[in-house]
Structures are given as structure tokens and as C-alpha cells.
Amino acid sequence: MKEIILATANAHKVLEIKEILKGMDLSIKSLADFKDYPKVVEDGATLCENSVKKALTIAQFFNKPTISDDTGLEVEYLNGAPGVFSARFAGPQCIDKNNRLKLLKELNNVPFEKRAAHFKCAVSIVFPDRNMMIKTVEGQIDGYISLEESGQNGFGYDSLFWLAQYKKTFAELDAELKNKISHRAKALEKAKAIIAEFL
């Protein structure tokens, strides 16, 4: 069984990624399993840049294959914001709730039909035993920002991201369905083929 590291300590994200990659011959560790690792400043101009930087930094430190993802919510009415700043939309030390409240405030009085949004995910995989070869894939799902929060599942902006085909927010879907249709699931499905070749 090959060991691979997830370049994140985010428990929600780790759970999702492990579930999506379930069934592959992998021993998956996350940064939460280690005491010492470099902190990566996500200062890239794009999700891909951040994803590659995280994966490469951790792969070089541990000398093990590494997967990283960076995810962003793009709202059309806000010209693509928060985008690459999604995790820190309300400030550098903010929590998810702060980000959601700021988004609702920015969209105050904007009618539902003008609240189209896209969740995007860039997944990068680095293979140290192949001269630090980097592969990056992307996934996207389209929806709307709801007028208020709804649902108890998920994390981040999930309680605001409304899907027309289900008439529910991400946070109202069960984890099994979300892990089949989400932006992260779409990117990781593409990544599976790359990982399978490596295995």
C-alpha cells in the first residue's frame, strides 16, 4: 500500500478527500498526523498556483507523494469574488461563519436570479520519485447563493450554495451525494486516473 500525504490539516476536507479516494490502494495521511511540517503561505494569484505550491512544499519536505487542493467560490455579481480569497474573505483570522455573513452582506438586496455562483477546485499531485512531477486537475459545479443559510452538513460556504437540480444547498445534501457531485469530487475523479497510474 502506497503512502500519500494530503497537504491539509482541515478535518472536514480530509474526511471528504478520504471518502472520495476510498477503495484505492493508498495509506492516506494528512498534516494533522504530523507535528512538524512547513506552513505554506497561500499567496498565489490562482487556485492552481496555491494548490501546486502546497503540494510541492509538502512533497519536498516529506519526500512522499502529496495531494493538495485549493477551492474557491466565485460569485458573478461580485465579479468573481471571493475567488482565491474564499477562505479569508472576511479577514486573515476569520472563521467560516464570518465569511458567510460577509457574503450575505455583500449580496444584500441582490435578487436571487442575479446570485449565480461557481465552486471551483484545483487538485495538484506531486511525485517525488519522478523528479517532483506535478499534475493538476480542476473541477467545477454551478449554483446560486441563497438568500439565507440552510442546512447543517458540510462546511465553508456549503449552507449558502444552492443547487438548482436538487433545490437544496450543499449543506442540505447528505455527504454521500455531495462527494459524488461536488467541485472537489469532480477534480478528484480526474486525479484518480493519475494516482492509479502511479500505483
Active site amino acids: 70
Task: Report the C-alpha gap between 119 and 96 in whole angstroms.
Answer: 15
Contact 66, 41 (CB under 8 A): no
Closest CA to 17 of 183, 136, 142, 162: 183
Beta strands in 105-183 (DSSP E): 116-127, 133-145, 161-163, 168-169
Element (H, E) at 102: helix 96-106
- Expressed in percent and rounded to 5, the helix, strand and coil fractions of the chain are 40, 25, 35
Length of the chain as a residue count: 199
